[in-house]
């Protein structure tokens, strides 16, 4: 009886140890990514989990500038997926990302969106002066805001619109302001505009109006999970991943 009890106890202990070992071997990767990548990356998270059950992806979405600042200040991040080259290049310059572990992966377009009812009858960029309020990502930390500001200046509209501008922490907040009718127009990425039926795309900015919209991704030099980070970095460049990005409106950078 005593021997049987010991066998059962040993078996339980072995199972518990196995479970603990399994937990210990699960790696959590933290990816700081531009807010405009949220839908595509959440979709890819499901796909990646099926093939890498031992890796958990933890996303931190926000404006690229804010994310860059967090990484510069020591936030524990494994990969950075930016919506602009400036913020990415700053981390390379600060030696937080090695150039060989970074790539320009995606491109995007900038669009002007209005609420479904479009009460102000805005049908082109030149009509934005009719708006009482427009929404723009804060240019210093939100690349879409930077591109939007460049566009409005190029079209000589900024002097009229500066006082009417409501700033947002990222493109998703800009889109929300438009969807809810809190502003008469907003400038966002095409990929964000395609996610809603509460706002309408009424114009696309010409590429020569702003800096090229490129999304670089790279591995943080001090990642504590370099092997797993490199595997996910490679996956993001795969044909399977690119098809998902394209489904959400992105194009390859090259």
Nearest to 59 by CA among 70, 45, 69, 46: 45
Residues of the binding site for molybdate? 36, 64, 144, 171, 189
Distance CA 88, CA 241 (A): 21
Residues of the binding site? 36, 64, 144, 171, 189
Cβ contact 179:196 at 8 Å: yes
Distance CA 244, CA 105 (A): 13
Distance CA 92, CA 99 (A): 6
| Residue 10 CA to its chain's centroid (Å) | 48
Both structure tokens of 203: 């114009």
């Amino acid at each position: 009886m005593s021997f049987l009890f010991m066998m059962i106890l040993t078996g339980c202990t072995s199972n518990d140890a196995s479970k603990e070992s399994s937990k210990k071997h699960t790696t959590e990767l933290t990816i700081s990514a531009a807010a405009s990548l949220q839908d595509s990356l959440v979709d890819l998270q499901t796909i990646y989990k099926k093939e890498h059950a031992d890796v958990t992806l933890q996303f931190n979405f926000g404006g690229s500038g804010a994310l860059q600042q967090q990484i510069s200040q020591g936030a524990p991040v494994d990969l950075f997926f930016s919506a602009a080259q400036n913020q990415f290049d700053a981390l390379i310059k600060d030696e937080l990302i090695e150039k060989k572990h970074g790539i320009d992966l995606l491109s995007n377009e900038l669009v002007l969106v209005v609420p479904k009812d479009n009460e102000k009858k805005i049908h082109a960029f030149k009509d934005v002066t009719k708006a009482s309020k427009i929404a723009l990502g804060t240019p210093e930390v939100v690349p879409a805001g930077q591109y939007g500001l460049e566009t409005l200046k190029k079209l000589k509209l900024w002097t009229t619109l500066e006082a009417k501008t409501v700033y947002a922490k990222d493109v998703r907040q800009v889109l929300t302001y438009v969807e809810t009718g809190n502003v008469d127009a907003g400038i966002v990425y095409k990929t964000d505009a395609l996610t809603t039926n509460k706002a309408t795309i009424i114009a696309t900015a010409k590429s020569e109006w702003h800096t090229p919209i490129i999304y670089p991704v790279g591995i943080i030099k001090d990642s504590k999970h370099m092997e797993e980070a490199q595997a996910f970095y490679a996956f993001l460049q795969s044909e399977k991943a690119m098809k998902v990005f394209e489904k959400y409106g992105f194009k390859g950078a090259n």
